[in-house]
Amino acid sequence: MALFSKDLGIDLGTTYTRISEGGVVILEEPTVVTIAVEEQMIVEVGKAAQEMYGRVSDRLEVTRPLQNGVVARYEVTENLIRYLIKKVSGPLAFFRPRIMITVPYGITSVETRAVHEAALGAGSREAYLIHQPLAAALIHQPLAAALGADLPVGTPSGNMVVSLGGGCSQAAVIAMNSIVAADTLRAGGMELDEAIISYVRKKYGLIIGQPTAEQVKIKIGAAVPQDQDKSIEIQGQDQVTALPRPLVLTTGEIVDAVRDVLKDIIETVRRVLEKTPPELVSDTIDRGIALCGGGALLPGIEKLMTKELGIPTYLVDNPMTCIAEGASRALEIYPTLRRNLPNVN
């Protein structure tokens, strides 16, 4: 049966879910579901559901079934995974897939079991879990080694990965295919959006939604002041009159808006370094910190981290997809990794 079934890696993220096969991402969908409230039935999933955000009546609910990287709505998550598996397997798939699904480091045993049970309930033949920083390192570090820039994580040398996801940010030092020291901050890209929303409301008395804040972040956002200060015009709702009102925001303002969230992320990385064995810290200084996840695309964030931590920080070649790619890679070397994967018993 294993000869005919798929081996899939699933990066189950707060904002996006990606599925890979053989180290290649074959599906990417927003982790968003639209539910008919009265019937408690799923109406739309993924991109179609995301496009309904803030645009539906009270009879429909647009929801993210994961919050800060963990399952908040079990049945919705199970149905989401089932839908995505069917989408990549096709209507004529007779054999259930074997899957490796990612979870944040440091989540509770209850949260871990919820993901595992949702994966099994969604129709997988076998389901395994892997911490997201390790999955990212599996795909990134061997590629870097092949280019002579780094060493594989299977060696005793230390490699640090910082993953900036939509719902959480994680930092981990990895050696011998195992996480030696790590920490997770339950704040990520969505908290950057919230910081922008709060900034605009407090400074300008204008209410904007999360999709607008996200577009501001993507188009003109930055972690440090830029040589060219970009601007964007947005529309919001006046806090006093409730009428629509335009507003022009600049990159410099977004730098101010997200400063505190980025400070918390950097402090998380610092805490991991403080509890890392000295020899592995030395390795990290030599090799630098590998930065991945959607938040890593914020211009200047690697410069900010390099300045604040005193360790070279660089963006990996595939920041958005390396965790999903690493998850399917982990299935290929499962016997080697088995002892270092989360326990679901």
Would you say residue 126 has pLDDT above 80? yes
pLDDT at 274: 98
Q: Give 309-341 pLDDT, tens digit per residue.
A: 999 999 998 899 999 998 998 999 899 889 889
Pairing relationship of beta strands 289-292 and 313-315 according to DSSP bridges: parallel
Q: Is residue 30 part of a domain?
A: yes
Q: Which is more confident, 336 or 273?
A: 273
Confidence label for 264 from pLDDT (cuts 50, 70 and 90): very high
Strands (E) in the chain, as ranges, are 7-12, 16-21, 24-30, 33-36, 41-45, 60-63, 66-67, 70-71, 98-103, 126-131, 159-164, 169-175, 178-185, 206-207, 231-238, 244-250, 289-292, 313-315
Would you say residue 300 has pLDDT above 60? yes
For the ranges 63-77, 102-116, 153-167, 190-204, the lowest mean pLDDT is seen at 153-167
Q: Is residue 234 part of a domain?
A: no
Number of domains composing the chain: 1
* Domain assignment of residue 57, given as a range: 7-133+324-340
Would you say residue 153 has pLDDT above 70? no
Length of the chain: 345
Q: Is residue 57 part of a domain?
A: yes
Q: Is residue 103 part of a domain?
A: yes
Would you say residue 213 has pLDDT above 70? yes
Query: Looking at residue 295, what DSSP letter applies?
Result: G
Q: Is residue 247 part of a domain?
A: no
Q: Is residue 26 part of a domain?
A: yes
Q: Is residue 46 part of a domain?
A: yes
Query: What is the average pLDDT value for the chain, to the nearest integer?
Result: 91
Q: Is residue 291 part of a domain?
A: no
CATH code, 99:
3.30.420.40
